Structure 1
Amino acid sequence: MRVIDLSVSISEKVKEPLPTEIAYETHEECADNMGKILFKDLEGDIFMNNMGLAGEVINLATHSGTHVDAPYHYSPTCNGKPSRTIDELPLEWFFSDGVVLDFTDKPEGYLIEPEDLIEKLSEINYTLKPYDIVLIRCDADKRIHEDNYVKIHVGASAKATHWLIDQGVKVVGTDGWGWDIPLHLQIEKFKQNPKQGIIWEAHYVGIDKEYCQIEKLANLEQLPPFGFKVSCFPTKIEKASAGWTRAVAIIE
């Protein structure tokens, strides 16, 4: 069995607008801080080698790093009912057969339509089934520390997202910054045609149909087109719109 890491590191080096701050506490600092707080009534050398236990304090958005968006992220309601938050979703969604669709042959910012998905599935001779986890590869993860990282991924249209959900898919993913096309391209389209439905068109599919999307995946080039499992259980954060995940692929 092989286990392939599909996650990026949570890091201050990632070039995206969401803030990430990590305060690292060394063993020496911990000995001083913890000694004053937890062990203030003790005397003498209480830590081995005068060193405490290292730790970190992180200021992090739930949409930073490799994460799963919950239906609540897209809208307060889905199909007329309250949208589910990340802690309310069935765990069965997040461990299932994976499918990789390779869009590295398309330019940055390419808008994926249903016919593109059908063509890619035909190329790998695969038919989607309910609960498959569909992963879009464009290798944007290889440039995650570049200044233009948020501008280089391909994105799905609303029609493509509807089509995947209609095949029974509940979880989709991308190794790009977001599931929609890059934001600067959405802005350009809105300026040409200022109306609702231009900005976040794929995200807003969640107003009508329940699904989750994984953003900022990695290492999809290491996977076969299919024949593997994806594990992407999200962190259980009460009433949250997303949760971080250590997504992995399991190949028997």
Structure 2
Amino acid sequence: MKIIDLSVTISPEIKEPLPTSITYEDHKEGARKMGSKLFNGLPADAFIDGNGPAGEFITVTGHAGTHVDAPWHYFPTCDGKPSRTIEQLPLEWFFSDGVVLDYTNKPDGYSITTNDLKEKLAAINYTLKPFDIVLIRCDADKRIYNEDFVKIHVGVSAEATHWLIDQGIKVMGTDGWGWDIPLYLQAQDYLQNPRPGVIWAAHYVGREKEYCQIEKLANLDQLPPFGFKVACFPAKIKGGSAGWTRAVAIFES
């Protein structure tokens, strides 16, 4: 068996609009706190060489690092019913055959159409089946520490998102910051010509059809177009709009 990591590291160094912060405690600090709080006031020297447990305190959103968006993220309702949160979704969705569609030839900000999807699938001679996990590659993960990281991915259009769901796809993902085209392009378009269907268009597909998307994947360049499994089980966060995932590709030997 071979496993390839498809996840980025949760880190303050990633240029997120809502950045992560991590406060680390070393073993000496761990001994002081562990002794006083959990061992009824034991001194730090009760631990071997004064070394207790190292730890960290993390301030982070559910959308930091590689994560799975739940239907609740998109809208309060889906098809007239309350949208499901991340801990309510079936685990079966998050372990299935993977398919990589390579759009590294497209410029940053390009909006992938249904025809683009059909052409790419024809080029790799693959027919989608229900519950495949479709991964959009643009290699944005190679620039994840750039100041303009949120601006340098391709997006998937609303009509293409509809089409994927209509093929039975429940989970789709991207190595870009977001599933839609970059936010600044959406804002520019709307301000020039205010109208519905511009802001968050692909996300809002979730108002009508239930699906999940993985954002900020990594290492899709190390995968073939198909012939592997994807595991991307999200963390269980009560009422969560998303959950972090250590997504991996699995090749059976």
TM-score of the superposed pair, with normalisation by structure 2: 0.98
CA contact (8 A) 2:109 2:182 kept: yes
* 1:44 to partner: Cα distance: 7.9
Deviation at 1:248, TM superposition (A): 0.2
Partner of 1:135: 135
Report the CA distance between 1:43 and its aligned residue. 5.8
5+ residue gaps, structure 2: none
| Deviation per residue, 1:103-134 (Å, 9 max, x gap) | 00101111000000001001100000000000
Change (3 A) 1:69 1:49: same
The CA distance in 2 between the partners of 1:249 and 1:216, in whole Å, is: 15
- 2:67 matches 1:60: no
Please give the root-mean-square deviation of Cα atoms over the aligned residues, in Å. 1.0
SS in structure 2 opposite 1:189?
helix
Matched position secondary structure for 2:58: strand
Q: Is the contact made by 2:44 and 2:50 (CA closer than 8 Å) also made in structure 1?
A: no
Correspondence for 1:4: 4
How far does residue 42 in structure 1 lie from its aligned partner after superposition? 3.6
CA distance in 2, matches of 1:25, 1:44: 14
Whole-angstrom distance in 1 between the partners of 2:43 and 2:33: 15
Alignment gaps of 5+ in structure 1: none
Q: CA deviation at 1:192?
A: 2.1
Percentage identity across aligned positions?
70
- Cα deviation, 1:50-85, whole Å, max 9, x if unaligned, reads 101100110000011100000010011000011100
* Alpha-carbon separation, structure 2, partners of 1:41 and 1:110: 60
List per-residue Cα deviations over 1:166-214 (Å, max 9, x = no partner): 0000000000000000011111111122122211000000000000000
State the partner residue of 2:227: 227
Structure 1 equivalent of residue 167 of structure 2:
167
Letter in 2 for 1:188: Q
The residue type equivalent to 2:113 in the other structure is E
Partner of 1:104: 104
Write the distance in 1 (CA, Å) between the matches of 2:21 and 2:46. 31
- Structure-1-length-normalised TM-score: 0.98
Q: How does 1:1-252 map to 2 (within 5 A)?
A: 1-42=1-42, 45-252=45-252
Q: Structure 2: how far apart are the matches of 1:150 and 1:21?
A: 18
Q: Is the 8 A contact 2:35 2:41 kept in 1?
A: no
How many residues end up aligned between the 2 structures? 252
SS at match of 2:46: coil
Contact 2:35–2:44 (8 Å) recurs in 1: no
